Amino acid sequence: MRAEWPDAVLESIARAVQASDGCPALAQLALVAPAFRVHASRLLRAHPVLASSTAVQLYLRALQDSKAAAGDARSLTLRRGPPHEVSTAGRGRKGRKVLLEDAVTEDELVQLAKSLTGLVELHLVEPAFDSLRRRQLGFTSSLANLRTLTIVGRAGHGYTGFNLATVGQILQNLPELCHLALRNLQAHASALQGLAPPACKLAAFGLFDTPDISSAQLYWLLKSSIYADSLRSLAFDIPPDMRPSRLHAVLWAVSPVKTLFISSSNSRALSDLPRHFPSLRQYAFRSTGSVAVDPHRVLASCAVFGAVEFVEDRSTGQRGATSLDWAEALLLARQTQPGLARLRRLALSTERRHDVGFDVLEEVCGLLGLQLVLYEPETGDAPWIPLDRSTCRHPHVAQDILKDKRGGRHQHSSICRAIMSAISQSRGAPHPDLTDYPRPAPGAPSGVKVLQVIIVGAGIGGLACAIESRLEGHEVILFEQTREFKPLGDNIGLFPNSGRLVKRWGIHYELSKHCAYPDGLRYYRYNGEFITHQRHQKQGDALGDENPFKDAPLYDTTRYELHRILINRAKELGADLKMGKRVDKYIEEVDYAAVEVDGQLYKADVVLGADGVKSRARELVLGVYDAPKPSGYAIFRTSYSCDRIRANPVCAHLAPEGEDARSIWIGPDAHFIIGTSSSGKEMHWLLTHLDTADVEESWMYPGRVEDALSYVDGWDPVVRAVMETTPEGALIDWKLVFRDPLPTWVSKGGRTCVLGDAAHPFLPTSQQGASQAVEDGVTIAHTLSLAKQKGLPLNIALRTYETLRYERVKRAQQLGVDNRERFHKVDWTKPVDAEAVKLPFALWLWQHDAIKHCHDNFDAALVAPLVSELKSQATGPEKVDTLSPTSTVAVAAA
């Protein structure tokens, strides 16, 4: 019966439907005539005009009456052009497919959604409607079980049916949505920030071909919305205007992802991205620029955390690296990069099969035990999201070209051996981009005795030394007299010279969540007149390969969060942290050093004093007590919620929603800084001023807002408004003190030394107090290891640490005084020179790698103390000048 329906009957039905829209008789026919349901797709395909309200009604009612009820439908694809497909297959059942032709209107989409309540996948590919009214967004409320949503707009047609704001509203009705893919949508991101948070937590998100989205909008979308909280798979285009600093902020926000697909015209950025993702398992990229991505850099980046298992180069034509490039990079990386031990698969475009060296790549992959996969260039309608094969709706066809030709792994071929030989002969040293440290694990080097290290003080320097010492395999006991750290103080910065060290410790993602990512520092005269806007990241971008930010983060976070994260990491690595324990006595003998705590003696190979500016270990080094001296300046500092700032219209603009910002007002003998962090959730301010009060040497002394206000009489009302929002009891008055430089940081016996503020206090304006303490701690851990490996006495190790660090620290301390004078000594009778007040871009400081410096210069530093001692015997000890508060090398605690 069904096969006997002639075309004439279908033509008659078509004319009837077209002539009588909404005809009840035809609707009844759909219910009683099974043959009509069978031939519905043929009818509608032959007559696109029937894709109207009546045709869809007939289709829906016929579907409702079928054995596979609409409520059982699992997947729906509405595609412009090709037939639409509804699959009613449940698990374990053979799928039944019904086809529907083009052009579903807004109202029909609403009704369709209500009829398909069991839908778990919805794919809208260039749907025909041009707009969605707010009431029609309710169609998603019927799709409570939807887990996958794909929306592809019409490129180049001014399409407004869906934009990112519309999608944001839809997501509020989809609590179970896990996978979202978007392409060819307008940004309309000005409306994004007014949206309520989505009800779902996405596991996979893809955003492609959205040309009008700016880097700031993408930054907000991925960092400030809750999309980033649960993401495990991410795919997006990098906007052309995105600065590296903004890109790094985005990447830090989504660094937990395990699968990443990025498209960009910046081949350098594509090469370096994996180094920002500690958990990354699968990395796919597509270059749209004129320069091919360097496989050496890609593999070096993938080796940093050592978790990558699958690399895909989706670039085509000259934008893609050749087969020989990949073959050489794989062989070289396998020899020099232990972090690539998990790499199992390499995927390239099928056009690579025609490369001259493709057979070489096949052999190399077989030699290394890698699976080589070829993909067709992307031609699908939906953006490719690198999901698992079971959940990816439109996977591209892949061909596994590595067959098991010899009953196992491929054997060495002559061409592979020739390549390996050529590499070893022409490149005696590793590729310059393959020198990143893999993620370390605790353990002493082979054949090295475990050293016992006691650290006094769990500040930044003490914790840095504890963490790096554990990673070097040393046993660590850490004493801290404070019983618990409280959330007091303001922000603290770890610049790239320390950021590249901290990044190795496995805390990058957790620390990044609590960091601020401002777009620079805005300078104002004390009366509110704008001076300039300094963007450190932009200055770095202009330097290209010399940019200190390209491979090292700047961690701008709160003191409390930094302390908490470092303490937890030290404990995880096995450091024995003893809180609430005050060291009563330091002891040093020929073959050990010790401390006395609560009447108990603790022995170790070395004792390290990291107990701050009031260090008692410093007394042991000096032999006498040197009292701290007032510097003539003090700081009011505090931190609290941005909500208090936003409640005051005078200063609300300083705390923009979802963003971080930094501003500074400079005036006679004072400067005021305000900043926000955690995407505009927390704020801090500080006022450096002349010290006229009798405040004890402690940064924990409570301050009064009225006292702070007295130092800014006649200043910009915005500054005073900010101060007046300070909660009661949240302000600290911190007296800046300094000490004369120590002639040495190491005791006479050489088994005790000081580091951090205990050795060299810093002014806050140096912005280097915490970073130099980190460098100290890391350097000590490595000098101890090197000395033990070389069979040298440990007292030589600590003296080598001092030699490696002393002059660098002295130069860095000077920055604090220079920067303070830069702000406070401006001639206000003349126009302000914007360049003169900007903080210096200290390349010599930020490009430094303390570990590399230690290993490269250890042997030379061994000789320096001996030369100094001989010189001293011949000419007498070198005189160390006593400093005054106005000396250009006076320093203060930070």
Tell me: the pLDDT tens digits for 662-685? 899 998 888 999 998 877 888 889
Token pair 């915005």 in the structure block, residue: 718
Phi-psi region of 355 (alpha: psi -120 to 50; beta: other; left: phi over 0): beta
> Which helix (H) or strand (E) covers residue 607, if one does?
strand 606-609
Mean pLDDT throughout 509-526? 83
Q: Is the pLDDT of residue 383 over 80?
A: no
Global pTM? 0.54
Q: Is the pLDDT of residue 781 over 60?
A: yes
More confident residue, 332 or 39: 332
The 3-state DSSP class for residue 313 equals: strand
179-193, 543-557, 610-624: least confident range: 179-193
Q: How confident is the model at residue 381 (pLDDT cuts 50, 70, 90)?
A: very low
In the chain, what is the straight-line distance between the N-terminal and C-terminal CA atoms, in Å?
A: 90
d(CA 205, CA 384): 10
Comparing 787 with 10, the larger pLDDT belongs to 787
CA 240 – CA 442 distance, rounded (Å): 41
pLDDT tens readout for residues 618-644: 877 667 666 777 778 888 988 888 999
- Over its C-alpha atoms, the chain yields an Rg (Å, rounded) of 33
Amino acid 35: pLDDT: 44
Section 226-247 average pLDDT = 70
Model confidence at 43: pLDDT above 80: no
Q: How far is it, in rounded angstroms, from Cα 215 to Cα 834?
A: 27
More confident residue, 333 or 538: 333
pLDDT at 82: 39
Mean pLDDT along residues 879-885: 36
Cα dihedral 279/281/287/288 (nearest 10):
-80
Q: Does 466 score more than 80 pLDDT?
A: yes
pLDDT of residue 774: 96
Ranges 338-352, 429-443, 709-723, 729-743, most confident: 709-723
Residues 6+ apart with CB under 8 A from 187: 163, 164, 210, 212, 213, 214, 217
**Are 561 and 720 a contacting pair, CB within 8 Å?**
no
Q: What are the φ/ψ torsions at residue 103 (nearest 5 degrees)?
A: 70, 75
Which domains, from first to last, does the chain contain?
A: 452-875 (3.50.50.60)
- pLDDT at position 892 over 60: no
What is the phi-psi region of residue 520: left when phi exceeds 0, alpha when psi lies from -120 to 50, beta otherwise? Answer: left
Q: With 90 as the cut, is the pLDDT of residue 488 above it? A: no
For residue 430, pLDDT beyond 80: no
SS3 754: strand
pLDDT tens digits along 219-230: 666 655 545 557
Q: How confident is the model at residue 184 (pLDDT cuts 50, 70, 90)?
A: confident
Stretch 801-817: mean pLDDT, rounded? 88
Given this model, what pLDDT does residue 87 score?
41
pLDDT class of 771 with cuts at 50, 70, 90: very high
Sign of the CA dihedral running 678, 681, 687, 693:
negative
Residue 647: pLDDT over 70? yes
Top-confidence residue, 207 or 621:
207
Tell me how crowded residue 28 is: count the other CB atoms within 10 A of its CB.
12
pLDDT in tens, 94-120: 333 333 334 455 565 666 666 666 677
Is residue 854 over pLDDT 50?
yes
Say whether pLDDT at 48 is over 60: no
Q: What is the pLDDT of residue 293?
A: 85
Q: How confident is the model at residue 798 (pLDDT cuts 50, 70, 90)?
A: very high
Pick the residue with more confidence: 143 or 447? Answer: 143
pLDDT at 786 over 80: yes
For residue 801, pLDDT over 60 is answered with yes
682-690 vs 583-588, strand pairing mode: unpaired
Q: What is the largest CA-CA distance in the chain?
A: 117
Report, as an integer, the average pLDDT of 342-364.
83
pLDDT at 38 over 70: no
pLDDT value for 98? 36
Phi and psi, residue 674, nearest 5°: -130, 140
The pLDDT > 70 percentage for the chain reads 63
Whether residue 289 contacts residue 267, with contact meaning beta carbons closer than 8 Å, is answered with: yes
Q: What is the mean pLDDT of residues 311-330?
A: 84
Whether the pLDDT of residue 68 is over 70: the answer is no
According to the model, what pLDDT value does residue 62 have? 45
Cα 772–chain centre separation: 23
- The three-state secondary structure class of 158 is coil
Closest to 9 (Cα-Cα) out of 48, 38, 51? 38
- Position 412 pLDDT exceeds 60: no
Residue 766 banded pLDDT, cuts 50, 70, 90: confident
Q: Over range 526-532, report the average pLDDT.
A: 90
Q: How far apart are CA 350 and CA 376, in angstroms?
A: 6
Tell me if residue 883 falls in helix, strand or coil. coil
Which one-letter amino acid corresponds to residue 622? L
Residue-level pLDDT at 253 = 66
Angle between helices 53-65 and 106-115 (to 10 degrees): 10
Question: Are 892 and 736 within 8 A, CB to CB?
Answer: yes
Q: What is the pLDDT of residue 379?
A: 43
CA–CA distance, 708 with 724 (Å, rounded to integer)? 10
pLDDT, position 424: 42
% of the chain beyond a pLDDT of 90: 18
Confidence at residue 327, expressed as pLDDT on a 0 to 100 scale? 87
* 733 vs 247, residue with greater confidence: 733
Provide the residue count of the chain: 894
Does the pLDDT of residue 382 top 60, yes or no? no
Chain mean pLDDT for the chain: 72
- Report pLDDT for 605: 94
CA distance 659 to 641: 14
Tokens of 745: 């940081």
